[in-house]
Amino acid sequence: MMWWGYNGMNGWGYVLMGLSTLVFWGLVITTIVLAARHASRVIGAGRTSPPPTAQELLAQRYARGEIDTDEYRSRLDVLQRGPEYPVRG
């Protein structure tokens, strides 16, 4: 007798309540995931460094022993002077 005047919820009420709960929590989780992705992109964007220059790559190859001193100096000279022949393009 505690629920006088309460007609109860029929089957469609339970279905709508369940779907609305799923939609609500789906939106909450989606919002959190998108915010985390955005924050990681913003934080990660500040840490990117520019790509190494040609001289830096050449120095790294020389330091690893891939090229000898004469080849390093001749290639570095070409990089600093520019190509001997103009490039057509």
pLDDT digits (tens, 9 = 90+) for 31-69: 999 999 999 888 776 666 788 899 999 999 999 999 999
* Domain hosting residue 67, numbered range: 52-83
| 65 within some domain | yes
Whole-model pTM: value is 0.44
Residue 18 pLDDT exceeds 60 = yes
Dihedral sign, Cα of residue 54, residue 59, residue 62, residue 64: negative
| 64 within some domain | yes
| 73 within some domain | yes
| 60 within some domain | yes
| 58 within some domain | yes
**Residue 75: Cβ-neighbour burial (10 angstroms; 0-12, 13-18, 19+):** middle
| 71 within some domain | yes
| 21 within some domain | no
Number of domain units in the chain: 1
